[in-house]
Structures are given as C-alpha cells and as structure tokens.
A and B are shown apart, each in its own frame.
Chain A
C-alpha cells in the first residue's frame, strides 16, 4: 500500500526532475540530463504500475481513494487542500500518461539529441508530466485546475521551444491565450459549483450533484450553466470548436511534444474533465446536446480540413482535433467510458503517428511538407511500418485498437437514448470515411510513389534506435490497445467499460435520463453499424489509393475544378483570419486608439491637464488686474469698497 499512501510520489518525481534539470541541467552532459528526466518519468511510471497493483486490491468502498495533504487555500468561506485521489478513471489516465509519457521521453532523447536547449526541453517535459499527473490525480476542481493551467503553461513553453522562431512563439502565445478563454469558463464554472454546492471537492460535489434535481430538457438551470461553463474550459483545452484554432499551430513545437501533449495527453484533459463531471452533465440535457453537437461538428469540420493539408504534422493535428471531437461526441451521448476508451487508444495510435511523423521529419532533415516527400517506404522501413499500423488503427480497420473504440462511439451515437441520434451517427461515419481518406493520403504521399525531394541534398536515413523502440512499443499498443473491449463485439463483457463502471455508474441515478442499457436484440443492429463503419473506412482507403497511387494527377484536377471548396478547405475555412479580423485586431485597435490614446490620454489626462490649463489660464487672466498701474489698483479698492459696503448694508437692512 506504499504508493496508495504516498500518492504524492507520482507527480513529485517528474517535478524534481524538472527542477534539477531546469536549474542545473545547462552545465551537464546529455547523459546526466537523460538519466534524470527518464529516471523521474520512469520511476513515476513504475509507481503507477505499483499503484495499479495496489489499487486492484482496494475494497470498492475505499474508491475513490482520497489523500489530503497540506491545506492550500483556506480563507473566508473557501477551503481547498492539496488532495489527490485515485479511482478507476484516474487509474486509466495515470497509466496512459506515465506510460505514453515515458515512451515519448525515450523517443525524445533521440529526436532532440542535436538540438540546443536539451536540458531545458527535458525540464519542460518533466514539468509537463508533473502537471498532467496533478491534473488527473487532483481530488478537487482547484487542484485539477492547477494541473490544467500547468499543462497549458508547459504546452506554451514547448510550442515556443524554438523561441528564435517568430512563428513558434506566436503559436505558443496563441495556445495559451485560447486556453485562457476556456479557463475563463472553467473558472466561472467552478465559482458556480462552489456557490451551488459550497465546496469543490469531487467527493463532495459529485454526490451532491447526483442528488440534485436535474434540469429539464431545454431548461437553462444551474446545472446547465455549470456544465456549459465547464464545457467552455474543456473546449479550450481539447481544441473543440470554436476554440480549436490553437492546436494546428501548436505543431510549431518539437514533434515529441506534439505527440505527448498535443495528441496523447494534455488535449484529452477536456475529455477527462467532462467525464469526471459527468454527473453534472447528465443533469442537463442541454449541456449533453451541446457536448455531442460540438464534438460531432468538430470531428467533421477538422476532418474536412485535414483532407487537403500538405504539412504532415498539420494533417495529424487536424486529425487530433477530429478525434477529440469523437471523444466529445461519446461523452455527449452519455458513453463516457467509450470516450475514455477512445482517449486511450487515441493516445497510443496518435502518439505513434506523431512520433513516426517525427521520424520522417528527422529522416528528411526537417522537411514537413508531404509534397516534398514520397517513396520513403524503402528507406525508412521501421518508420513506415509503424506508421502504417497507426494509420490502420486510426482509420478504424478491424482488429486495430481504433476500430474498437471508434465503433463503440458510433454505436452509442446511434443507439444511446435519449442523447443519441441518427444525425450524430451519420456525422461520425462520414468523419470516419474522411479520416481514413486523409490518413491514407498521408501514407501514400509520404511513403509511396517517387521521391519528390532532391536526393542529393537530403540524405534520408532511418532514425536511431532510441527513436524506433518507442515507435514499436506504441505500434504494438495501437494494435492490442483495443482488445480489452473486443469481447463486447461478440456480446461478451467489455473489460474496459466494466473497469470504469464504478465511476460512471452514478449516472444511473438520474432517473429517466439514464442512457438506456444495451438490449440484446440490438446486437444485430450494432453489427450493421459496424459494417457501415468498416465500409466507410474502406471507401476512404480506396479513394485515397485511387487518387494518390493510381491517378496521381487527379488531386490537382480536382482542386482545379472545385476551386472554391478547395481553397476554403486549404484555408482552413479562414477561421484564423475571421478571428483576427473580428476579435483580435479590433481589440488591439480599440485598446490602442480608443482606450489608450483617447480615453486615457485625451479624456482623463486631458481633463486633468485641462484643469491645470484652465487654472493657469484663469491665473493669467486674473493676473491682468495686476497691471502695475496704481490707478487701476485704486479702482479695484473702490470696487471692493462698494461690494463690501453694499453687502454689509444689505445685511444690516435685512
């Protein structure tokens, strides 16, 4: 029970690693930095594994297992401690975070070997691990928020890691700012939670919320407001419409960062938070609809953009946004465990894809444009094969992990009552088709065909072993990662869902809004749905093959003939431009030209200086009485005499 009693060990190890590397790392050789960073993360992973072992022996009554350390904030009527908790959901997240995190750390030692700021990179990465672990371990919303903001900070730091590059720092800022907008909602959500329930501990809030009356459909009650505000936060962190814009830009960071933070872990924090707060969401049909709607829309929207991107990482980025949309969709239809399941499988295959892409980039000397690749299959076979596995997984090819999780979501979208609907399902399937298409497009463009780069200048080489081993590990996970849920297909027990059941069982309390359990006769329906999904994936694959292998001129012709839609897509629907024109530039312009120059300088200072000027002007006017001419002075004396005698006589007569 050691780790259970000392939960703090898990996040603290990476923090120590970050501190040591951050402060002293600059002077140390890479090996030392490596051992510290990897040691910290690895030990943390080991601790999590041990925790998992201990956790499985824990009596259900002791779950969630809460440990409270020092009081953190205690003032007035508010109190929040540093407290950590473990339950099944946390356990899954811990395993994913430390596991994938460790693997990516390993990968980074290879990828970053020749970059400057090596220690700084690992310091940030460890710091990220710390915050991410705090996020998932936090036993109340405020501690969760610590991790929430902290990972945002690390994301900012790592996106802007190449701080000499303007675009990188811009992207970092953008990420932080957009996330702050989400955090604004999260904060207000917490405030409203606190006002409603008088505390922010999960142990207090969630049961209390479960017992509270639910909002009716279409009603904007307290629960709805809380849920929507939290959703805002989740949208920011998990890059959902309308706050997704930062994530594609975030690819400015080093590729391992994209893999770890912007694919596998941090961006899923929103999903985690929604799942964690599922009780509240379930109390609000409006919020559930919003979650599902946003998720579906984002999934489709991002997938369409992904169709035409040429930057290998951008494709993956939009793919991530799209997949996150899936997870939201899952949550929105009440299939929280499916969402978390997809979260996990996505962590594996998207992490893999990114790392593989990184390997490609590494191999081609930093090239990210797929139009300048091609035919790499032979030159970097390890990378090719692992990436292909990842692609198969994400495309939803049966047997691979993505298939299971995606299928579960689509099924829930169709069947779940009262949240699911055919429309959501159609969107989901369409997205699956598109996903399959752009992923295979990526594969075909990158690894097939002829080389479109200058072979004399670019010496393509396979990555070192410390990069390939992580690829293999993740590839394996991408295959087998979905198998715990596999039996469900055949009417058996979904182990994953079963494991998470204690967490999400509270949902059942909400009477008639409880998602209907799967009925046996629906099995055939589910099978049908599955077939459709597989078909969609296959179509995607086929079309990609047609366009990029068979008739390579077709994409260009298509772009010619469908100029307007093509440009809309390649311009990413011009959302960035829209935001810039509608929000950013007006804000800056108003701040500068209205608030600063007009209000501050002209109105307020103007008024103040105006008073001074008026005083001076009056002084100069009054001063003219002092003409130097004695007769004028005498005249003033007469004036004064008249004034005062009149005044006194008037007073005397009165």
Chain B
C-alpha cells in the first residue's frame, strides 16, 4: 500500500506543473487548461486528505470544485470566444491593449 502522503505529493507536483503551465503557455485555452490541471491537483489533495482523515467532507468539496470548474469553463470559454472574435488571436501576449 502506498502512504497517502504520496498522493498529496503527487497533487503538489501536479499543482506545480499547473503553475508552470500557466506561466509557460501563451494560448488562452491551454492556460485555462493549466488552471484545470491545478484544480485537479486540488481535488486529488482533497480526496487524499479525506481518505487519511476518514472524513467524507473532502469528497464533498471535490464535488463542489468540479461544479465550479464547470461553471468557470462555460464562462471562460465564452470569454475566449469573444476574444477570438474581436481580436483574431488566442495568444494572450497579443491581448494587451490595457496597460501601464
């Protein structure tokens, strides 16, 4: 059996990769995917802690996180569509009218 801490470590790794991805990617959609990756890492941590604590609340939280992620996805992608429509690009670095 694997200690639960391994799962937590894995979640941290994935969370870290999410951060790196967010900073590394330029495409708005894939940046958003990085965030989803981070949320998944959070979910893993919740479930792992829930498991080690013998406390189901963690799983409930995951449920909520997934719902929130879904809602965010809907709105986020709508915004992406707007950007694509108005700016003809998905490169986040080219969306920089507002500055200074």
Contact = CB atoms under 8 A, between A and B. Distances in A.
Contacts of B26: 631
Nearest to B97: A628
A623 B19 CA distance: 25
Interface string B56-100: 000000000000000000000000000000000000110111111
Nearest to B25: A631
A129 B9 CA distance: 106
Contact of B93 (A623, A629, A635): A629
Contacts of A623: 100
A75 to B, nearest CB: 62
A626 B100 CA distance: 5
B19 A627 contact: no
A473 interface: no
B23 A634 contact: yes
A628 B100 CA distance: 7
Contacts of A635: 23
A519 B3 CA distance: 130
A561 interface: no
Contacts of A56: none
B100 A631 contact: no
Contacts of A638: 19, 23
B85 to A, nearest CB: 18
Contacts of B96: 627-630
B46 interface: no
A626 B98 CA distance: 9
Nearest to B94: A629
Interface in A281-295: none
Contacts, number: 29
A623 B98 CA distance: 12
B34 to A, nearest CB: 10
B95 A630 contact: yes
A634 B19 CA distance: 9
A626 B93 CA distance: 13
Contacts of B99: 626-629
B49 interface: no
Chain B contact residues, majority secondary structure: loop
B19 to A, nearest CB: 7
A628 B23 contact: no
B97 A631 contact: no
Nearest to A620: B100
A629 B19 CA distance: 17
Contacts of A629: 92-93, 96, 99
Contacts of B95: 630
Contact of B98 (A624, A628, A634): A628
Nearest to B28: A630
Nearest to B92: A630
A487 B99 CA distance: 106
Contacts of A634: 22-23
A626 to B, nearest CB: 5
A631 B98 contact: no
B8 to A, nearest CB: 16
A368 to B, nearest CB: 76
A623 B22 CA distance: 23
Interface string B36-67: 00000000000000000000000000000000
Most buried by B among A623, A626, A629, A635: A629
Contacts of A624: 100
Contacts of B98: 628
B58 to A, nearest CB: 22
Interface in A607-651: 623-624, 626-631, 634-635, 638
Contacts of A627: 96, 99-100
A636 to B, nearest CB: 11
B17 to A, nearest CB: 13
Contacts of A628: 96-100
Nearest to B23: A634
A634 B28 CA distance: 13
A360 B69 CA distance: 114
A623 B92 CA distance: 20
Nearest to B20: A638
A630 B31 CA distance: 11
A638 B34 CA distance: 14
A635 B22 CA distance: 9
A35 B7 CA distance: 119
A627 B99 CA distance: 5
A635 B98 CA distance: 17
A624 B95 CA distance: 17
A630 B26 CA distance: 9
Nearest to B26: A631
A643 to B, nearest CB: 15
A155 to B, nearest CB: 68
Interface string A24-41: 000000000000000000
A623 B100 CA distance: 6
A627 B100 CA distance: 6
B38 to A, nearest CB: 12
A634 B31 CA distance: 11
Q: Which one of B22, B95, B98 has the greatest number of beta carbons of chain A within 10 Å?
A: B22
Contacts of B92: 629-631
A624 B96 CA distance: 13
- Which of B92, B98, B99 has its CB near the most chain A CB atoms (within 10 A)? B99
A149 to B, nearest CB: 64
Contacts of B97: 628
Nearest to B96: A628
B84 to A, nearest CB: 15
Contacts of A626: 99-100
Nearest to A626: B100
A630 B35 CA distance: 14
B80 to A, nearest CB: 13
Contacts of B93: 629-631
B72 to A, nearest CB: 16
B29 to A, nearest CB: 13
B89 to A, nearest CB: 13
Nearest to A625: B100
A430 B96 CA distance: 98
A628 B97 CA distance: 7
A630 B22 CA distance: 10
A616 to B, nearest CB: 14
5 contacts: A626-B100, A627-B96, A628-B96, A630-B92, A630-B95
Interface of A: 623-624, 626-631, 634-635, 638
Given A631-B93, A638-B23, 14 more contacts: A623-B100, A626-B99, A628-B98, A628-B99, A629-B92, A629-B93, A630-B92, A630-B95, A630-B96, A631-B92, A634-B22, A634-B23, A635-B23, A638-B19
Top 10 A-B pairs, shortest CB-CB distance: A628-B99, A628-B96, A630-B92, A626-B100, A623-B100, A629-B96, A634-B23, A629-B93, A628-B98, A634-B22
